[in-house]
Structure 1
Amino acid sequence: MFWLIGAVVIAGAGFAAAYVPRARAAAHERAVAWSEARAAIGVAVVGRDAARTPVPEAEELLTKAEAIAAGRGGAAAAREAARCARAADRLWRAAADRLRREAYGG
């Protein structure tokens, strides 16, 4: 009986030694991904405000990014939200550049 308890304790310790670092790494990856997503959404909002011209596709992408962020989820959801926000920002930057070139004849 004593050997059985010892074997169970050793097996539990081995499982914990393997599981805890992986769980901690996954939680860190998720936190970093959501931080990047929130930053990308913030940059896209600033880009939208600076563009001064409506870009419907960019609005849809930003709305999608914000909806994904509101729903939370894992690291994959965060990466998708960041991808949508960055794409929206690129569209607004392109629209602002076109407007600037038209205004200054460039």
Structure 2
Amino acid sequence: MTTETDSVVISIEGPDGADEVLLPEPLLKILSENDESSAEVVSDIVILSCAERIHAIVHHGEGEMSDELASVEDEMMDLFEDRFGVTFGAATGHDH
């Protein structure tokens, strides 16, 4: 069980609600680059995770890809590149 002193609460607010996630502080320090804040580390992970998930749905899911899904993937990949300065394919070695 973690204690308050070695965990960090990250609050997430969206247009339809809010949530909190409790993460080990040492993990956030390990994942940070160039003294990034905990919020920046978690934000990077959110962008990466969302890009991975939409990529999997579009390219590895069953069924036909709709125009809406293709549009969402395009937008997410643009956001990924804006955040990290490289394409999803270049960053992950997984490009279609």
**Could you state the TM-score of these two structures normalised by the residue count of structure 1?**
0.40
| Larger Rg computed on CA atoms | 1
Richer in helix (by share) = 1
**RCO comparison, higher one (Cα < 8 Å, 6+):** 1
